Amino acid sequence: MAILELKQVNKYYDKYHALRDVSLSIEPQSIFGLLGPNGAGKTTMIRIITGITAADKGDVVFNDKPFQEHHVEEIGYMPEERGLYKKMKVWEQLVYLAQLKGLSAKDAKDRVYAWMEKMDIKDWWNKKIEELSKGMSQKIQFISTVVHEPRLIILDEPFSGLDPVNSVLIQNEIEELRLKGATILFSTHRMEQVEEICEQIALINKGKIILNGRVKDIKQQFKQNLYSVELLDPGIQFRNDYFNVVSRDANQFKIKLANGATSKDLLKTLVEQDADVLSFREVLPSLNEIFIKQVTEGTHE
C-alpha cells in the first residue's frame, strides 16, 4: 500500500496548465526523489500534496484515504524558501512550530532540546534566528520539519547552504528517519545525492511526469552498451565491427558494443588474446546525464 498517490492530477493558473495528468505512487518508508528543471511543476505538486493548494482535477490519496485537512499533521515540509521569524529565539521558534503540529508545550520543548543536542547546536538555544548563518538556519529548519515525527517528510533542496560535513549529517538523519518508519520525498538539483540515497525518482518537465521508477531500473533502461576495460597489456586488438573504442586513457579503454555483440563476446575476445584484465565493468549513465537528455529532448516536442 502506497503512503501517497497522485491520480491524474491537473492544476491551472488562469490559462497556464501547470500540472498535466500527473500520477505517481510513493511506497512507505522509502526515499523518493522529485526532479525537474525550474518551472517544471515541482513546487505546484508539493503544494498540492501538503494541502497548501488544491488540484483542479484528479485525486490525492494519503495512506489509502482521500487527502483531508487533518492529514497535514502527519506531514513535515521544509520549503526551499525558508520561513523562520528572525527576531525570535531559536528555541521559541522551534517550540512554537512544534505546537502548531499538535505537540504540547512540554513535549515540544523536550523534543526540540533533544534534536538540538543531536545536531550539536544546543549552544544556540537562546540565540535569535537573525544571528544564524545560512547553514545553521538550514539545520534549524530541518528540526522544525521533523520534530513532530511526521509519517511523510518533504524536503525541498535540503542541502542548500550546507558544508560537506553538515550535508553528511543531514543525509544520515534522513536515513535514520526512514529506518524509524518515515517516508521521505525530496526535491533537489544535486543529482549525485539523488543517485546516492534515492530508491525511486520521478522526473517532471513542462507539468508532465516523463520518467518514473526505481533508480537502478532507470539506469538500465538508458544504458548504451558501454564497458570500461583496464588491461595490463594495452596492445590488445578489438574488432571494429563489433567493439568500438570510444576513448582510451593509457591502459583504460571505453568500448561500445555494436552489431548485437554482448559482454560475453567482449570477454571472449580478451580471453582469446590472453589479456591480463585488471578491471571490467559496464558503464551506466548517471542520473545527471539521463536528466539532461530527457529534459533537452522534451524541449523539442
Find, among 296, 288, 295, the residue nearest to 195 by Cα: 288
Domain shared by 25 and 158, yes or no: yes
Find, among 156, 145, 166, 173, the residue nearest to 35 by Cα: 156
Residue 116 within a domain: yes
Domain shared by 190 and 257, yes or no: no
Residue 294 within a domain: no
Domain shared by 183 and 245, yes or no: no
Each residue's pLDDT tens digit, 101-128? 889 999 999 999 999 999 989 898 999 9
C-alpha cell at position 71: 492529514
165, 191, 220 - which closes a domain: 220
What's the rounded Cα separation, in Å, for the pair 64 and 165? 38
Residue 298 within a domain: no
Domain shared by 248 and 206, yes or no: no
Find, among 152, 139, 135, 148, the residue nearest to 34 by Cα: 152
Residue 289 within a domain: no
Find, among 186, 248, 219, 190, the residue nearest to 46 by Cα: 186
Find, among 132, 130, 91, 126, the residue nearest to 111 by Cα: 91
C-alpha cell at position 291: 536528466
Domain shared by 120 and 205, yes or no: yes
What's the rounded Cα separation, in Å, for the pair 243 and 15? 52
Q: Maximum distance among all alpha carbons in the chain?
A: 75
Domain shared by 199 and 233, yes or no: no
Domain shared by 237 and 94, yes or no: no
Confidence at 99, pLDDT banded by 50, 70, 90: very high
The CATH number that applies at residue 250 is: 3.30.70
Mean pLDDT over residues 168-173, rounded? 91
What's the rounded Cα separation, in Å, for the pair 233 and 274? 10
Strand, helix or coil for residue 266 = helix
Residue 29 within a domain: yes
176, 205, 220 - which closes a domain: 220
Are the C-beta atoms of 184 and 178 separated by less than 8 Å?
yes
Find, among 269, 265, 234, the residue nearest to 252 by Cα: 234
Q: Where is pLDDT greater, at 210 or 194?
A: 210
Domain shared by 168 and 255, yes or no: no
Average pLDDT of the chain, as a whole number: 90
Question: How many C-beta atoms surround the C-beta of residue 96 within 10 A?
Answer: 15
% residues pLDDT > 90 (the chain): 61
Domain shared by 261 and 230, yes or no: yes
Length of the chain as a residue count: 301
The CATH number that applies at residue 25 is: 3.40.50.300
C-alpha cell at position 244: 568500438
Residue 291 within a domain: no
Q: Based on the structure, what is the number of domains in the chain? A: 2
Each residue's pLDDT tens digit, 138-156? 899 999 999 999 999 999 9
- Whole domain around residue 41: which residue ranges? 4-220
**Which residues neighbour 196 within 8 Å (Cβ) at sequence distance 6 or greater?**
171
Domain shared by 189 and 205, yes or no: yes
Domain shared by 159 and 59, yes or no: yes
**Which residues neighbour 88 within 8 Å (Cβ) at sequence distance 6 or greater?**
96, 128, 129
Each residue's pLDDT tens digit, 175-201? 999 999 999 998 887 778 888 889 999
Residue 207 within a domain: yes
Each residue's pLDDT tens digit, 223-236? 999 999 999 877 77
Cross-strand partners of 214: 200
Find, among 76, 97, 287, the residue nearest to 200 by Cα: 287
Q: Where is pLDDT greater, at 237 or 85?
A: 85
Mean pLDDT lowest for which of 14-23, 186-195, 269-278, 286-295?
186-195
Domain shared by 146 and 260, yes or no: no
Global confidence as pTM: 0.85
Residue 240 within a domain: yes
What's the rounded Cα separation, in Å, for the pair 167 and 144? 17
What's the rounded Cα separation, in Å, for the pair 89 and 109? 13
178, 201, 220 - which closes a domain: 220
Q: What is the DSSP string of 64-129?
A: TEE--GGGGGGEEEE-SS----TTSBHHHHHHHHHHHTT--HHHHHHHHHHHHHHTT-GGGTTSBG
